[in-house]
Amino acid sequence: MALFNLRHPEKRAPRASRRTRIALLLITVPAVLAACSSEQTVRYPPARRALGVREALHAGHWRGPIGMTEVDYVIEQVTPTTVLVKVSGTVLHQANRSYDASSPQNYFYDRPRTCKITAGGRSFDCTRYVDMHIDNGLLCGVYETPDQVYRPCLEPVP
């Protein structure tokens, strides 16, 4: 060690005591091990889910998957008896066709339609979309196709 320490012996800092070095080692080792741990805990907020409580209908924009389609569902206006909606989206997977993200045929847009508010005033029915209601901020309901029935809960779009 003396070969690498070219300072004059009187100018060197005194070595730490053995007790200080052991204490420093006992503090450093657990800190390094904790930093290198592969199981670091990351806390994500819980996913929003329907609670079974229907909220008052209001204008808004929701998005989410329904089958192989990513749907944008916009409630533009709510009156005492009707709801004005616009539905559009992107087909994520087309049967019997190769997928091309740049293809304009993957996007669809339904013309605006007026839907009837059902008894109770907290849900509405449209063509294919029935019992649409807001639950914990999510737009939930039933989407019926000739082959399948989906029960989506779409997330609000900020």
Reading the block at residue 106, the tokens are 């993957």
Burial of 91 (C-beta count, 10 Å sphere; 0-12/13-18/19+): middle
pTM of the entire structure?
Answer: 0.65
Which residue ranges make up each domain of the chain? 54-156
Residue 77: other Cβ atoms inside 10 A? 12
pLDDT at 150: 96
pLDDT of 73 above 80:
yes
Residue 73: other Cβ atoms inside 10 A? 23
SS3 32: helix
- What does the pLDDT look like over 37-56, one tens digit per residue? 555 667 777 778 999 999 99
Q: With contact defined as beta carbons under 8 Å apart, do 117 and 57 qualify?
A: yes
Rounded-to-integer distance, Cα 2 and Cα 6, Å: 7
Q: With contact defined as beta carbons under 8 Å apart, do 129 and 149 qualify?
A: no
Residues forming beta bridges with residue 62, ordered by sequence position: 73, 156
Q: Is the dihedral of CA 15, 19, 23, 28 positive or negative?
A: positive
pLDDT at 134: 97
Cα 98–Cα 103–Cα 108 angle in degrees, nearest 5: 105
Please, what is the average pLDDT of the chain? 82
Percent of the chain exceeding pLDDT 90 equals 49
| 23 vs 140, more confident | 140
pLDDT of 113 above 70:
yes
| 41 vs 149, more confident | 149
